Amino acid sequence: MKPKIAPKIALITGDYPPAISGIGDYVEKMAAAMTKLGGDVTVITSKADVKDDAPFPVRRVMPSWKWNDRGQLLDILSGFDIAHIQYPAVAYGRSLMINVLPSLLRRKYPKTRSLVTIHDFRVMRWRWRARTAPMLFGVDGLIHVDPRDGPYLDSWMPLGKPPTQIIPIAANAEPVECQAGDRQRWRKQLGFADDETVVAFFGILYPHKGLPELHRAIRELRESGKHVRLLALGDFDRTESWRAQMEADLRADHCVWIQGAALDRISQCLHAADLAALPFHSGAATNRGSLLATLAHGLPTVTTNGPATPSDFEKIFDLSLVPVESYGAIRDALSTLMTDAHLQHRMRNNALAAMAKLSWPVVARQTLEFYDRLLSPAPAKAAA
């Protein structure tokens, strides 16, 4: 029996590190995990003058993703068994070329299987969902990372979906090893006293992440005599009118702001924290990599119950869920956690147990198995 040959896999993404992008981080983690499992993976992304030392090829070759660039992309994809597109369109400059790529591939390379991973389909505006139609009808396989996207995708494909699988994401900052004494050393480097409660925030910096309310909650806790400070881990990816005020808050005495940190350094900072707070205006969900990162580090986490939050979310994760845009609720939840060691211990243990099931090796293995399913020949029909 001939040994099974690993398929050649192209992961296609408009954004990729060091660009600030949750999708780019996802692709990097996925490619690394699949490579460790024996996958033959190449990342294809936007052109950039960056030197990569990844254990897999990263081809930063696409000058743009416009219609005139389709020939170059198709030439690059020659010889690949799997062309796996990461979506939404904003990473591709809203170009429609990426939406018709599956159909172009099917015509030019009939043996190549195209897939798309849809991120955040249900929160897209109607017109952006409509733009996915050519992709959804032309693709050979569909992955979505959020179970709640399923009904929305069904409604856009009433005649049936291609082979589809839900494969959740894992933490976008995996824990580095933390030996005895490391945590105290990292806290000292960050300027935190032994008796301070450190509350971590992690993610790209936007007002809708709930930072204004979180700053106010921390200030009021300090005014009430609590020894607490905010550790903000993140960067801006744009300049807007709200940025100046956010930067002023991040540089205030109640906050330590870490910018431009590598993921290993982010992990050290999360190990140094005591609690986490991620008060998203749209609510917590299973596809929030920053939330999964705080849980992977065992941090008791305060987050929000909003429109994006699944009804069974508290059954999956042991979290302190508060209403959106309520600094008072954030303040009170943090105050309760700070004074309840038993609650902290329970939430820490439950967070680590839940995240053991949401690791990148698990995600990569499920994805590789899905590829095998798409590449397997259809069973022969029995004779009538």
Q: Delimit the domains of the chain by residue range.
A: 8-170+360-375, 182-355
- Interval 266-280 mean pLDDT: 97
Compute the distance between CA of residue 361 and CA of residue 29 in angstroms, rounded to an integer: 9
pLDDT tops 60 at residue 381? no
| Sheet architecture: strand order including 164-166 | 58-62, 40-46, 8-12, 82-87, 113-118, 141-144, 164-166
Spell out the residues 6+ positions from residue 304 whose beta carbon is closer than 8 angstroms to its own. Answer: 210, 278, 279, 280, 281, 283, 284, 321, 322, 323, 324
Contact assessment for residue 43 and residue 56, using Cβ atoms and an 8 Å cutoff: yes
Compute the distance between CA of residue 255 and CA of residue 139 in angstroms, rounded to an integer: 47
pTM, 2 dp = 0.81
For the domain bounded by 182-355, which CATH number is listed? 3.40.50.2000
For the domain bounded by 8-170+360-375, which CATH number is listed? 3.40.50.2000
- Counting residues of the chain whose pLDDT is more than 70, the rounded percentage is 97
pLDDT tops 60 at residue 310? yes
Check if 8-170+360-375 and 182-355 are the same fold: yes
Per-residue confidence band for 4, with pLDDT thresholds at 50, 70 and 90: low
